[in-house]
Chain A
Amino acid sequence: MRALTWHGKHDVRIDTVPDPEILNPRDAIIKVTSTAICGSDLHLYDAVIPGMMAGDILGHEFMGEVVETGPKSTLQKGQRVVVPFTISCGQCFFCKKQQYSACDNSNPAETQDLTEPLYGHAIGGLFGYSHLTGGYAGGQAEYVRVPYSDVGPIIVPEELDDEQVLFLSDILPTGWMAAENAQIEPGDTVAVWGCGPVGLFAIQSALAMGAEQVIAIDHYPHRLDLARGLGAEGLDYTQTKVGEALLEMTGGIGPDAVIDAVGMEAHGFAPDNVLDVVKQKVGMVFDRGHVLREAILACRKGGRVSMPGVYGGYLDKFPLGAFMQKGLQLRTGQTHVQRYTDNLMKEIRKGKIDTTFLISHRLPLADAPTAYKNFHERQNEWTKVVLRP
């Protein structure tokens, strides 16, 4: 089959690779009909995530048609499914607590060794996202082997198009969980840093959960426009002192909840990477640490901090004093996708959630290398790319 493979920094190619096979009883093989490039794929593209090997197939946002099933799969050939990016067994302690992204069994035994020394525990398996999360072949390909296919994939009703449901794989539930982690109460003001797909869906979700006022912070004009289109007010941090603006816009009290959705993942995982990346990022683009520090300082006393943006290593100058003295709460984590998909699917069917506004480009899989390049270099216009194998 044809697949997008990683070969190093800014080097991704369409290669011919072996077709996937059923290897375990609960597997299914999906023929991909739509797959997206995620902002977090750009960190693989920038080679700041360790644990990549040349030839790895990328992509963790995909959907398609079931073409083959193992004897224990509950799927049937011909069904259309969206596949969550988190691989979850459904039967371990964590899956039973609906903490699906913490699954104990989905990361193979050998690759669990990679994150145990860093985090104290191994993290769960993910599609197409380095060997730290198992080294699973991803969905920017013609076919994908989906393990535990009786737990993850969501069956798509016939009347819905691919584009209406594709983002159930990651960014829609991720934005939803970010808003849920902000524990929004009626009347709340929520400030969201970063108007990428996750930030935009967090804005949409926060408003759906009853937030009175949502303030979006970014510097790309087009992305701020998209946020405004959803009902948020926008702040361009290159023109505005964000902290001062937030105080004034909330009558001096500060936002009740703050969401760090910058999603750079760019700090890398090892201490030396962290320093280098911090040095690189200071300047025109957001520096991760900067966003989190600014958010904590802006947040009202007793408020909530939600952090959907992914961190890998250590963070310097975390304002622990402000955090403690103001009595803040922090909630974060990789998305427990399977916890949210049923409800979000219902909302999509009822027409209450639309995700298609985000898509800026639709291209064949063969054009994926160019798509990566443009998505990387022209973030203002290239908000979301959908590829069709």
Chain B
Amino acid sequence: MVQRLSEPWKTLMTQHRPLHPLSATLLFAGAAFLVATAVTRTGRRKSVNHRRDDAPVSASRVSTPEDGVVVAAAVTIDRPREELYAYWRRFENLPSFMENVEAVVPEGDHMRWTISAPAGQTVDLVTKITEDRESELIAWRSVLDSEIETNGRVQFRSLAEGRGTAVEATIRYVPPAGEIGRLVAKLFRKEPKVQGRHELKRFKMLMETGEVTTAQFHTPQNGSTGD
């Protein structure tokens, strides 16, 4: 399809074009080094480093190298947090709203993620749960010999009566070394934040409406995702 757009919009439309498959992945799959994170009384994420206010670390204008690459996003979902936690905690469910996660298979207390990569390849990632508080929080990190090193956490916070649950996800990662690392680093430079928002929005759609919204009207012929 040929696009005909007015100039200022070309940039925006380009941004909206699908991100590279691999970028999605890493988002919820992870990050290599862990920066100290404190959870305030209200449950908001807050870095203990260099911060003079109560804003989430992802909104910082002054991130330092020690912060690593931080991707964070939040959505409000009009469902009880118990239900949201339970769905996420079954990691096998994650591919239903994470576009490029092909499968998550529990292996004892570890999870094996299969992530689709360019040219029909897949990348494997093994994580273990580092913190698990019923209906509140799940945190995970990759095991040492994983192809990608990452850590992440998702938090479920009840809002005022009738307002649902705030779901806040934070992922930190350091681009790995080697061949994959160079590719990953390239892909990651600008996309993961966008992908993170998309994944959480799809989670919201699925939990609130029972389906992930699509504007397609027929199944694409070539079997691509139609993006």
Interface size in chain B (residues, C-beta < 8 A) = 38
B227 to A110, Cβ gap below 8 A?
Answer: yes
B52 at the binding interface (Cβ < 8 Å): no
Given contacts A92-B208, A125-B215, A136-B215, whether A113 and B194 have CB atoms under 8 Å apart is yes
Given contacts A55-B1, A113-B194, whether A24 and B217 have CB atoms under 8 Å apart is no
B12 at the binding interface (Cβ < 8 Å): yes
Residues of B contacting A90 with CB < 8 Å?
A: 209
B16 to A96, Cβ gap below 8 A?
Answer: no
A273 to B163, Cβ gap below 8 A?
Answer: no
Q: Which of B108-116, B120-128, B148-156, B195-203 forms contacts with chain A?
A: B195-203
State the CA gap A104–B210 with chains docked (Å). Answer: 14
A92 to B78, Cβ gap below 8 A?
Answer: yes
Contact with B along A92-112 (1 / 0, CB 8 A): 110010000000111111111
Q: Which of A13-21, A179-187, A198-206, A352-360 forms contacts with chain B?
A: A13-21
B106 at the binding interface (Cβ < 8 Å): no
Query: Restricting to B54-72, which residues have a CB under 8 Å from any CB of A?
Result: none
Contact with B along A39-58 (1 / 0, CB 8 A): 00000000100111111010
State the CA gap A231–B76 with chains docked (Å). Answer: 47
B5 at the binding interface (Cβ < 8 Å): yes
B78 to A96, Cβ gap below 8 A?
Answer: yes
Minimal Cβ-Cβ distance residue in A for B205: A105
CB distance from A346 to the nearest CB of B (A): 28
State the CA gap A18–B218 with chains docked (Å). Answer: 7
CB distance from A20 to the nearest CB of B (A): 4
Query: Restricting to B1-50, which residues have a CB under 8 Å from any CB of A?
Result: 1-9, 12-13, 15-16, 18
A105 to B213, Cβ gap below 8 A?
Answer: yes
A89 at the binding interface (Cβ < 8 Å): yes
State the CA gap A23–B212 with chains docked (Å). Answer: 10
Residues of B contacting A51 with CB < 8 Å?
A: 5, 9, 13
CB distance from B114 to the nearest CB of A (A): 22
A380 at the binding interface (Cβ < 8 Å): no
A147 at the binding interface (Cβ < 8 Å): yes
A270 to B211, Cβ gap below 8 A?
Answer: no
Partner of A89, one of B18, B201, B209, B214: B209
B6 to A270, Cβ gap below 8 A?
Answer: yes
A273 to B12, Cβ gap below 8 A?
Answer: no
Interface size in chain A (residues, C-beta < 8 A) = 52
Residues of B contacting A107 with CB < 8 Å?
A: 213
B6 to A50, Cβ gap below 8 A?
Answer: yes
A20 to B3, Cβ gap below 8 A?
Answer: no
B80 at the binding interface (Cβ < 8 Å): no
B214 to A108, Cβ gap below 8 A?
Answer: yes
Residues of A contacting B198 with CB < 8 Å?
A: 109-110
Partner of A108, one of B15, B78, B163, B213: B213
State the CA gap A91–B163 with chains docked (Å). Answer: 12
B213 to A125, Cβ gap below 8 A?
Answer: yes
State the CA gap A51–B17 with chains docked (Å). Answer: 12
CB distance from B21 to the nearest CB of A (A): 14
Partner of B209, one of A105, A117, A136, A145: A105
B157 at the binding interface (Cβ < 8 Å): no
CB distance from A265 to the nearest CB of B (A): 14
Residues of B contacting A20 with CB < 8 Å?
A: 217-218
Given contacts A52-B4, A53-B1, whether A21 and B78 have CB atoms under 8 Å apart is no
Can you list 24 A-B contacts with CB-CB less than 8 angstroms, sorted by A residue number?
A: A19-B218, A21-B219, A23-B217, A23-B218, A51-B13, A52-B5, A53-B4, A54-B3, A89-B208, A91-B208, A92-B78, A105-B204, A105-B205, A108-B214, A109-B197, A109-B205, A110-B18, A113-B194, A114-B12, A114-B16, A136-B217, A148-B209, A269-B9, A272-B8
Residues in A lying within 8 Å of B, measured CB to CB: 8, 18-21, 23-26, 47, 50-55, 57, 72, 89-93, 96, 104-114, 117, 125, 131, 134-137, 144-145, 147-148, 268-273
Q: Which 7 A-B pairs have the closest CB atoms?
A: A50-B9, A109-B198, A20-B217, A270-B8, A109-B201, A24-B211, A18-B218
